Amino acid sequence: MPYNTAEELRAARNQALSDSDWAVLPDSPHDSEGFQTAIRLYRQQLRDLPSKIETDGLENIELPPSPL
């Protein structure tokens, strides 16, 4: 989904982070090493999105696919 403003991107990114918070908690039902690696990579990619606006342009940025 293309975003019109950095604020829209941040809002979508923040929602995706919020939606995946439970997966990194110690009592997560998904405790396999492979899943934990995937969810941590996904969350790092989400956190890195705002810094990519200058290089990739807002119209070229999409949220990474969720492993959930």
> Is the separation of the CB atoms in 21 and 65 below 8 Å?
no
Split into its structural domains, the chain has a count of: 1
Residue 67 lies in a domain: no
Q: State how far the Cα of 10 lies from the Cα of 12, in Å rounded to an integer.
A: 5
What is residue 7's predicted lDDT score, i.e. its pLDDT?
Answer: 92
What number of residues does the chain have?
A: 68
pLDDT (tens digit, 9 = 90+) per residue, 4-49?
Answer: 888 999 999 999 999 999 998 888 887 788 889 999 999 999 999 9
What is residue 64's predicted lDDT score, i.e. its pLDDT?
Answer: 95
CA-atom Rg of the chain in angstroms: 13
Residue 68 lies in a domain: no
Residue 1 lies in a domain: no
Residue 33 lies in a domain: yes
What is residue 32's predicted lDDT score, i.e. its pLDDT?
Answer: 83
When pLDDT is cut at 50, 70 and 90, the band that residue 3 belongs to is: confident
Owning domain of residue 53: 6-60
Residues 6+ apart with CB under 8 A from 35: 23, 67
Q: State how far the Cα of 4 lies from the Cα of 17, in Å rounded to an integer.
A: 20
Question: Does the pLDDT of residue 2 top 80, yes or no?
Answer: no
